[in-house]
Homo-oligomer: A and B are copies of this chain.
Amino acid sequence: MPSPPPDPARLAVATDGRLTGATGRYTKRLGDMDGVYRDRTAYAEQLAARGADAVVYTVQEQRDVEDDGALIVGTSTLLPGRYGDEFAVTRGHLHARPNRAELYYCLSGTGVMLVDTVDGRTKALPLSPGEAVHVPGHWVHRSVNTGTEPFVTMFCYPADSGQNYALIEAAEGMASLVVDDGAGGWTTRPNPDHRGYDGGSPC
């Protein structure tokens, strides 16, 4: 035992995403989402109407050490929204250490975990309260809110994972879009802007 290990943390995980015991949080605002949605006009209209400071999602987390073997636990609260026919999303990422996995457990709302491998596999996994998605390493992943209420998940992943956000931006978006199916639900369609990931040989 190299140094005294930190105390275990007690957390209260509210279904609305409030995390009592959190050590950190960040908020993404509408102005941070430039370039994320395919329908640039729809995004620009919302930016004009709602303002750049409108909250779009919040992440609360608890972490201790960053040692190999340590975990980060937290909640993600993604507000509902639509940009053209695209549902509201988080920016999404591949872990900087790409083999790091992540668990997402749905606390409230309804959504989708959109996942891609850098070599062309793409999937959309629905999540409702009491359901979880275990995302293995090497999958780019993003939350999508397909409902009308906040989509809240609890997550757990290795503390040394890191996040590579630039990969999706360089690819001009993920391989699939999660869109309105015109019948009150959602479906996916290929993202015509997606140019493939420049990540066939991750570090």
User: Which chain A residues have a beta carbon within 8 Å of chain B's beta carbons?
Assistant: 1, 4-15, 62, 64-65, 67-71, 73, 95, 97-103, 105, 113, 115, 117-119, 123, 125-126, 130-139, 141, 154, 156-159, 161, 200-202
Enumerate chain B residues within 8 angstroms of A9, measured Cβ to Cβ: 133-134
Enumerate chain B residues within 8 angstroms of A5, measured Cβ to Cβ: 117, 136-139
Q: Which residue of B lies closest to A141 (CB)?
A: B8
**Neighbour of A158 across the interface among B65, B69, B130, CB < 8 A:** B69
Counted per complex, copies of this chain come to: 2
Q: How far is the CA of A72 from the CA of B164 in the complex (A)?
A: 23
Also in contact, A99 and B154, with CB within 8 A (given A8-B139, A113-B8): no
Also in contact, A131 and B12, with CB within 8 A (given A103-B156, A118-B1, A139-B5): yes
9 contacts across the A-B interface (CB closer than 8 A): A1-B200, A8-B115, A8-B133, A8-B135, A12-B130, A12-B132, A67-B99, A69-B99, A73-B134
Also in contact, A11 and B154, with CB within 8 A (given A1-B200, A70-B101): no
Q: How far is the CA of A131 from the CA of B73 in the complex (A)?
A: 12
Q: How far is the CA of A189 from the CA of B200 in the complex (A)?
A: 56
Enumerate chain B residues within 8 angstroms of A102, measured Cβ to Cβ: 71
**A71–B7 touching, CB < 8 Å:** no
Enumerate chain B residues within 8 angstroms of A202, measured Cβ to Cβ: 1
Enumerate chain B residues within 8 angstroms of A68, measured Cβ to Cβ: 99
Q: How far is the CA of A120 from the CA of B12 in the complex (A)?
A: 27
Besides A70-B101, A73-B132, 14 more A-B contacts (Cβ < 8 Å) are: A1-B119, A5-B139, A8-B113, A8-B123, A8-B125, A8-B135, A10-B125, A10-B131, A11-B133, A13-B105, A67-B137, A68-B99, A70-B137, A71-B157
